[in-house]
Amino acid sequence: MIKVLLVGASSFLGHALFRGLAAERGVLTRGTCFSNHTDASFAPLDITSAPQIEKILDREAPDCILWVAGNKDLKKCQEDYDFAYRINTRPVLDLTECLARGKQKSRVLFISTDYVFDGKKGAYKDTDAPMPVTNYGKTNALAEELLLNSGVDFKIVRTAAVMGQGGQFFDWLIKSLLKNEELSLYSNVIFSPTPMNLLVQAFIDLILNYDAFQQKILHLVGDVPMSRYTFGKLVAGILGSRSVLVPSQVDFSSVLFQENLSLVPSPCMKKYNNVSFKERLADEVRTGI
């Protein structure tokens, strides 16, 4: 039995990962939630409190810590670097120090982001050096660096634009397309949309077969980079929507927008190519209706 502690189980991605792991035989998963959530299934945890982190590690003694916690609000992080550091970087430092002091040898799976890159060229490989320009990206890159320089057994998992029910953009898009509304979507911003079912499958595989994944840094993402406009057209086709989609342009004067943050999937992702990107996306769309 593999004991997993999922830190941040009350988040959009955390919920989906928890559901997937809960259905998996041979895995016992405990989840934590933010202090302002009241989900009785999860243990409240303030990740900015090192004593709380140490207490839950001592209590649960997990084989694997799946770290989904942090704040992904680009605007809020950009306005307040100290906040971004306090929520995205410092807890990872506290985690590594707690593990160094503790008796258990937990593995850490840290979920990072495409924003550790500058978005100038796209098609970033898992071997490319981080070049963040936003505070969100910078504080995640620092967290990555902490793990790389620690004595912890870890893997850094970068993902991007996770698409599934509960995602703000995804839910808005489906709702609008079902109403056949006219939509304006950016055509000059390229990203790597990642169907939730693909990411959950990859994570379960990673947890169950950890030693088979040789790399320390992995890009677990969809393999079809595209603009939001193209993505909208694809979803509209799946739904049979009569919406008119209008391509629009981003003004790159704001640091919050990068031209091309697409990631190249790590070689391990080839094993999931038996199901196409469009098929996986269609499954998520049907779930979101």
Query: Is-contact 13 162, C-beta < 8 A?
Result: yes
Residue 112 clears pLDDT 90, i.e. is over it:
yes
Q: How confident is the model at residue 36 (pLDDT cuts 50, 70, 90)?
A: low
Mean pLDDT calculated for residue range 205-228: 96
Torsion angle, CA of 220/150/141/5, rounded to 10 degrees? 50
Arch. (CATH architecture) of 2-288: 3-Layer(aba) Sandwich (3.40)
Residue 35 clears pLDDT 80, i.e. is over it:
no
Phi/psi for 282 (5° steps) reads: -60, -40
Q: Residue 254: its pLDDT value, please?
A: 86
Q: Residue 103: its pLDDT value, please?
A: 72
Residue 37 clears pLDDT 80, i.e. is over it:
no
Domain ranges of the chain: 2-288
pLDDT in tens, 153-186: 999 999 999 999 999 999 999 999 999 999 999 9
Mean pLDDT calculated for residue range 25-47: 85
Q: How confident is the model at residue 255 (pLDDT cuts 50, 70, 90)?
A: confident
Q: Residue 105: its pLDDT value, please?
A: 86
User: Mean pLDDT in the chain?
Assistant: 95
Specify the pTM.
0.96
Q: Of all residues in the chain, what percent carry a pLDDT higher than 70?
A: 98
Q: Tell me the CA distances in angstroms from 74 to 41, 134, 146, one per residue in order.
A: 29, 8, 21
Measure the CA–CA gap between 185 and 229, rounded to whole angstroms: 5
Q: Residue 280: its pLDDT value, please?
A: 98
